[in-house]
Amino acid sequence: MKNREYPKGTKEVAQRILKAAQKGEKVIIFGDADLDGIASVVVLKELFELLNPLYNQNNNIKVYFPNREEEGHGISDYMLDFFKEEAPCLFFAVDCGIANVKEIKRAKKIGFETIIIDHHPPLEKVAKPDLLVDPKQKGETYPFTDFAAVGLVYKVAECALENTSYPEYVKEKLLELTALATLSDLMPLKEDNRELVDKGMNALLTTQRPGLLSLIELGEVDLQTDVDIFQKIIAPLNSARLIDNIAESYLLLTEDSPKEAKILAQRLIRQNKEKKAIIQQTLEELIQKIEKDKKESLMIFEVSDYWPVPALGVIASKLLQIYKKPVFLFKKGDEESVCSARLPHDLDGVDALIKCKKYLETYGGHPPACGCRAKNSNLPKLEKCLEGYFKKQVKKS
């Protein structure tokens, strides 16, 4: 029988997981705090628990989500300090990590064995973990590369469970999350993603996960309708807040008690409504401002100190839909600002940020949806630099 093919690094990671689970090694899973990152963490954690049920009882798997406003995107020194006493252990970064060159170096020094499962394209410098899955890396031979991070984690799980006799529903439980997070990350629904989403949406019809059942029940969700799935399941899961670096959606998705799950789900639904109201209000204010004095500009570059960071991406996407030009929205902090950017498909935001990186602290993401962090004092120069970049692009076309 021909062996199944997997993205580069998948088999090595699966093997390392099997070995770690057998011995019950200590594991830290660090994920981005959006639904793709959260689902990636849940799938990986549940894989470990499947392989070794003792993980359900001991405290040997620790999970952590970064507070983007304070820690920025990806692995931070703050997080490494928080966990350094845990070394030696197996450290996973999922849905982030490929850009964390310095932090991965430091993690290794602390005594972590490091594994990155990411789907972001590498920037100029690539982190060098002990093991890596990222189909956007150089030398990838797998034909499909547009996975969400959760799709890659699922592939790792599938590979680890290959040749085992687990019943099919075990995989279905992981697939339902894979489908939701792949949809949430707006990945192209073709080839592998199409298959993962079709199977996962099918699994969702008979889900036993109390958290998802609560969302379905409270939202009176029609699972045949895409709009319902996006607005009533994915949106509340995505507007999650963090409590002590644990995402509330993570708590909901891993909750065993239907009663607790219902309380959590109610909270997420309420928070999502509040977030939507803030987004609407902010959007109206911004549109007014843009219509008044910036209608002709090449890009939208706005800074404010009261926008909620998790809403920036959504607001930027809506402005992009209306104005069809690059949008950079900054939430201003005391010294630094966090930016979420959205761009038309013929422009590359990551390239723009690279060209202006001397004004940035960190940057990353995908060409049409990216972000960065900059010192407040650098914002005027950054705006000029980006303007210059887009002026050149317009001339070229």
Residues in the site for Mn ion, rule: CB under 5 A?
36, 95, 149, 185
To Mn ion, the closest distance from the beta carbon of 340 in angstroms equals 14
To Mn ion, the closest distance from the beta carbon of 36 in angstroms equals 3
Question: Taking CB positions, which residue lies at the least distance from Mn ion?
Answer: 36
Closer to Mn ion by Cβ: residue 98 or 319: 98
Closer to Mn ion by Cβ: residue 94 or 315: 94
To Mn ion, the closest distance from the beta carbon of 374 in angstroms equals 22
The region, left, alpha or beta by phi > 0 then psi within -120 to 50, assigned to residue 220 is left
Q: Are 181 and 229 in contact (CB under 8 A)?
A: no
Closer to Mn ion by Cβ: residue 110 or 156: 156
Coil, strand or helix at 115: strand
To Mn ion, the closest distance from the beta carbon of 182 in angstroms equals 9
Identity (one letter) of the amino acid at 371? Answer: G
Burial class (CB in 10 A: 0-12, 13-18, 19+), 226: exposed
Rounded Cα gap, residues 368 and 341, in angstroms: 8
Q: Are 120 and 138 in contact (CB under 8 A)?
A: no
To Mn ion, the closest distance from the beta carbon of 119 in angstroms equals 6
Closer to Mn ion by Cβ: residue 136 or 381: 136
Closer to Mn ion by Cβ: residue 32 or 348: 32
Closer to Mn ion by Cβ: residue 36 or 176: 36
Coil, strand or helix at 201: helix
Q: What is the CA radius of gyration of the chain?
A: 21
Give 356-362 contacts, CB < 8 A, sequence gap 24+: 356/382, 356/385, 356/386, 356/389, 359/385, 361/72, 361/336, 362/72, 362/73, 362/74, 362/99
Distance of CA 382 to the CA centre of its chain: 26
To Mn ion, the closest distance from the beta carbon of 158 in angstroms equals 19
Element (H, E) at 336: strand 336-342
Closer to Mn ion by Cβ: residue 32 or 302: 32
Nearest partner of 41 among 97, 121, 108, judged by Cα = 97
Q: Are 80 and 103 in contact (CB under 8 A)?
A: yes
Coil, strand or helix at 397: coil
To Mn ion, the closest distance from the beta carbon of 251 in angstroms equals 20
Closer to Mn ion by Cβ: residue 44 or 89: 44
To Mn ion, the closest distance from the beta carbon of 181 in angstroms equals 8
Rounded Cα gap, residues 173 and 168, in angstroms: 9
Element (H, E) at 89: strand 89-94
Closer to Mn ion by Cβ: residue 95 or 336: 95
To Mn ion, the closest distance from the beta carbon of 149 in angstroms equals 5
